[in-house]
Amino acid sequence: MRRRVIVEFTPEQLELLDQAEARHGTKRAGIVAALAAYADPGTDAGSHVATTRNPARASPTDHASAGTDDLAHLRAEAQALRDTLGAAEAERDEAHAQLRRADDLRVRLEEAFGDQEDALNAELDGLRARRLSELYCACCDRWAPVDEWSWAADDQARQYAYHTPCGDEGGWMFQPSSRLARPPITEKSTR
């Protein structure tokens, strides 16, 4: 299988390509030969390439040490990546832990509010059950339903209810009162 690769060359590089073509027959053969030499530093061309790449390291011994340096560099880079990854994983774990704590808190709050709501509803039910729906009217000797109550205030500004159909009868002398309920007399009001 072959794959077409399109490259552009400068005039100087084209001159090199022409030389390679003259030496190897075709441009392709010249490029392939150069690439093969690049991959194998043992050949003349290879050592030439190696020299061109890094003139300071021309001898095979130097080249080996260059390989060792490269390996050390790669190892250091790999270790740096491992460190980065480890830190990222630690951050991710911490974020997950925080999410779990937030979720726990949310559940506890919901439970607490739910409990409070239940308690309030129970209290309201109790209050509704205890709410007076009728009060006795001595004036007409009947139990007066809520919709027959009226409200008024006495001379001490205390609210009381009276039986609307009977009017506000205070129960003077021996006449029965139409007043249904009034607050208990407090120490303050008797003073």
Report the run of H or E that residue 134 belongs to, with start and end: strand 134-137
Query: According to the binding rule CB under 5 A, does residue 20 interact with Zn ion?
Result: no
Instruction: Please enumerate in sequence order all residues whose Cβ is within 8 A of that of 148, keeping only pairs 6 or more positions apart, or say none.
Output: 163, 164, 165
Nearer to Zn ion among residue 20 and residue 163 (C-beta): 163
Give the Cα separation of 178 and 162 in Å (integer): 5
Query: According to the binding rule CB under 5 A, does residue 58 interact with Zn ion?
Result: no
- Interface with Zn ion (CB under 5 A), residue from 37, 137, 161, 180: 137
- Interface with Zn ion (CB under 5 A), residue from 45, 140, 160, 168: 140
Report the nearest approach of Zn ion to the CB of residue 159 (Å): 18
Query: According to the binding rule CB under 5 A, does residue 135 interact with Zn ion?
Result: no
Q: What is the largest CA-CA distance in the chain?
A: 143
| Interactions with Zn ion, residue window 162-181 (CB under 5 A) | 163, 166, 178
| Residue 137 backbone zone (phi > 0: left; psi -120 to 50: alpha; other: beta) | beta
Query: According to the binding rule CB under 5 A, does residue 138 interact with Zn ion?
Result: no
Report the nearest approach of Zn ion to the CB of residue 150 (Å): 11
Nearer to Zn ion among residue 34 and residue 166 (C-beta): 166
Task: Quote the DSSP letter at residue 136.
Answer: E
Query: According to the binding rule CB under 5 A, does residue 31 interact with Zn ion?
Result: no
Give the Cα separation of 75 and 68 in Å (integer): 10
Residue located via tokens 């990854």: 85
| Interactions with Zn ion, residue window 64-93 (CB under 5 A) | none
Residues that bind Zn ion (CB under 5 A): 137, 139-140, 163, 166, 178
